[in-house]
């Protein structure tokens, strides 16, 4: 099944629940009409929250840059010694 | 570990364009970190004007032209076809794909190989976004874009892999041959398309943490239009996988 079909199925199910709520009037109609808005807002909040958490916990590795510089020096020394042209610095 | 690996051969495909210094460093580091492994490095150079191919020929004299294969193409023909081109010349039963710009450090190769052997995985993909992994040299804006892109992709595609656009990966050769022919995207989206399609086909995918140091030599290749390309890629994957 294509992924878009899965997502559409999910939305159709949600819409069906919403319409049935409208029909049966289990909760006041004025509230029910606002439910899609709540849904969109909470989806947006979820997105922002996940991006925020991701940013706060973004793994960084400053020490790797230092290690890499050491590797580069070692590599250049070996390569130059073996006749590979790796520049003059 | 060496005895177990005897029957496996790893073909490391590295596409290059103007990477004369980086390719020499990469080759040295690969030989340093997996000395007991049977491997070959296949360099697919797209006609670099900076003399990358001359450097590769010098490296062949040092390490042997059976370990370093230069499979050049006349001009820039895209990343996806570079892998297909390299794959045609690969003699190993496993293929490793990595960038030539030193953002992928060869010291992680033993982790990929070990993980694959332990889990019997079809694909091992390097991930920057778990404990033990990480990124260095990104601005806040770049981090924000990256996180946003990731949340969007996970919400829409449920791929089951934490780092979709990373391109440091080990594949069983047959698996790579199977999925690469059906992939049409370019750049970052190509990496995402490969892993999403592999995941949908039910291949066994494992992850290892890697660190990513943004390119040291040469300029970064990320442009603004890539965000648009990324979004188009997401929609494309939504409708085709």
Determine whether the interchain pair A85/B29 forms a contact, defined as Cβ–Cβ distance below 8 Å: no
What pLDDT is attached to residue B218? 52
Which residue of A69, A84, A85, A88 is the best one to mutate when testing the B interface, meaning the one whose CB has the most B CBs within 10 A? A84
Of A28 and B82, more confident: B82
pTM of the model: 0.89
Using the 8-state DSSP alphabet, how is residue A44 labeled?
Answer: H
Residues 6+ apart with CB under 8 A from B105: A64, A68, A71, B29, B210, B211, B213
Q: What is the gyration radius of the CA atoms in chain A, in angstroms?
A: 29
For B143-196, the DSSP string reads: HHHHHHHHHHHHHHH--S-S-SS---EEEEHHHHHHHHTT----HHHHHHHHHH
pLDDT-above-70 percentage for chain A: 97
Query: Mean pLDDT for chain A?
Result: 90
What pLDDT is attached to residue A26? 79
Mean pLDDT of successive 10-residue segments in chain B (241 residues)? 68 94 95 95 95 94 95 89 94 95 95 96 95 90 90 91 92 96 83 93 96 71 75 92 86
Determine whether the interchain pair B134/A65 forms a contact, defined as Cβ–Cβ distance below 8 Å: no
Confidence band of A60 (pLDDT split at 50, 70, 90): very high
pLDDT digits (tens, 9 = 90+) for B3-55: 555 589 999 999 999 999 999 999 999 999 999 999 999 999 999 999 999 99
Determine whether the interchain pair A3/B241 forms a contact, defined as Cβ–Cβ distance below 8 Å: yes
What pLDDT is attached to residue B79? 84
Three-class SS of B227-241: HHHHHHHHHHHHHHC
- Res A63 pLDDT > 70: yes
Determine whether the interchain pair B216/A72 forms a contact, defined as Cβ–Cβ distance below 8 Å: yes
What pLDDT is attached to residue B127? 95
What pLDDT is attached to residue B6? 59
Residues 6+ apart with CB under 8 A from B2: B36, B37
What pLDDT is attached to residue A46? 95
H or E stretch at B62 = helix B52-63
CB nearest A78 (choices: B28, B55, B212): B28
């Amino acid at each position: 099944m294509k992924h878009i079909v899965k997502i559409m199925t999910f939305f159709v199910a949600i819409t069906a629940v919403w319409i049935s709520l409208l029909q049966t009037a289990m909760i006041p109609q004025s509230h029910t009409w606002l439910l899609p808005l709540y849904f969109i807002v909470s989806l947006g909040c979820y997105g922002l929250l996940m991006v925020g958490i991701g940013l706060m916990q973004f793994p960084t590795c400053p020490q790797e840059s230092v290690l890499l510089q050491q590797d580069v020096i070692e590599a250049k020394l070996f390569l130059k010694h073996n006749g590979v042209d790796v520049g003059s610095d | 570990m060496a005895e177990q690996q005897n029957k496996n051969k790893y073909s490391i495909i590295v596409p290059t364009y103007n990477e004369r210094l980086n390719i020499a460093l990469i080759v040295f580091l690969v030989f340093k970190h997996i000395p007991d492994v049977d491997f070959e490095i296949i360099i697919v150079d797209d006609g670099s004007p900076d003399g990358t191919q001359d450097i590769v020929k010098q490296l062949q004299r040092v390490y042997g032209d059976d370990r370093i294969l230069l499979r050049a193409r006349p001009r820039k023909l895209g990343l996806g076809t570079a892998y297909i081109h390299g794959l045609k010349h690969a003699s190993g039963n496993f293929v490793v794909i990595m960038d030539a710009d030193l953002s992928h450090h060869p010291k992680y190769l033993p982790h990929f190989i070990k993980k694959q052997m332990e889990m019997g995985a079809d694909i091992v993909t390097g991930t920057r976004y778990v404990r033990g992994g990480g990124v260095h040299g990104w601005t806040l804006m770049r981090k924000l874009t990256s996180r946003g892109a990731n949340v969007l992709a996970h919400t829409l595609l449920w791929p089951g892999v934490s780092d979709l656009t990373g391109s440091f990966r080990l594949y069983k050769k047959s698996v790579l041959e199977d999925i690469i022919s059906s992939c049409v995207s370019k750049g970052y989206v190509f990496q995402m398309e490969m892993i999403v399609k592999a995941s949908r086909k039910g291949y066994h995918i494992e992850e290892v943490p890697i660190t990513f140091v943004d390119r040291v030599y040469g300029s970064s290749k990320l442009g603004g239009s890539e965000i648009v390309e990324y979004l188009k890629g997401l929609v494309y994957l939504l409708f085709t996988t």
